[in-house]
Amino acid sequence: MSDIPADYCDQLDLRGIIAQIDRDRAETRKLQGETEKFVSEQHKLIAEAAQLNVEQYKLTAEAAKLNRDLWLAPWVLAASLSSGVVVAVISHFWR
């Protein structure tokens, strides 16, 4: 014969099963809400990271400009001094 008892209808707790399903669905909705909240927070953090990357790019460009200026300054000074000396020598002999 079958393994199902004859009084299986009496042994099933349908209200308990339905209550458990309702609790599981409520828990699922709660977890979905938390997931949406975390995803929203993640999108905010990604946008903030993008802004920080733009700022970092600007600061890197500024640092490269300052580095170039630091490298170029001695050459400009040397060129100015040498041109001043050349002009002084020429004006001395021009008289």
DSSP 32-84: HHHHHHHHHHHHHHHHHHHHHHHHHHHHHHHHHHHHHHHHHHHHHHHHHHHHH
Count, residues in the chain: 95
Q: Which residues neighbour 79 within 8 Å (Cβ) at sequence distance 6 or greater?
A: none
Selection from 11-15, 33-37, 83-87 with the highest mean pLDDT: 33-37
* pTM metric for this prediction: 0.52
Domain borders along the chain are 8-94
Percentage of the chain beyond pLDDT 70 is 91
Q: Which residues neighbour 11 within 8 Å (Cβ) at sequence distance 6 or greater?
A: 5
